[in-house]
Amino acid sequence: MKISTKKQAALNDECTLIRRQFDPDAADNDVPEIEIRAEVFCGIFSINENEYYEAAREGLRMVCGIVVRTDEENGADEVDLYGKVYAIERKYRRVDGYTEIYLREKP
């Protein structure tokens, strides 16, 4: 795992983007129907101190961020990074064809 900067677009690591599709059951509750996984190359970057403490103030534990190619981003809700699944806190599309995804620990 190589920690890089947000601006660096070197995709040296691999992760799995996980998107869950939900369908209503008989009681009209959304239940996970299917899990769509996409293995992609990514670049890992650390979040800055301000982002970390802003998240902590809201009770969240931000871990890191990843950069993926925008055309490979599948609308994921979670990311499997080195065998651990993280929730996606937010995403930013960049003008250079990449998307920044900020990850937090799942409760």
Which tokens go with 5? 């900067």
pLDDT of 6-63, one tens digit each? 565 678 899 999 998 877 777 777 766 788 999 999 999 888 787 777 777 877 788 8
Contact 62, 51 (CB under 8 A): yes
Q: What's the pTM?
A: 0.79
Q: What angle do CA 61, 5, 90 make, to 5 degrees?
A: 40
Query: What element of type H or E holds 6?
Result: none
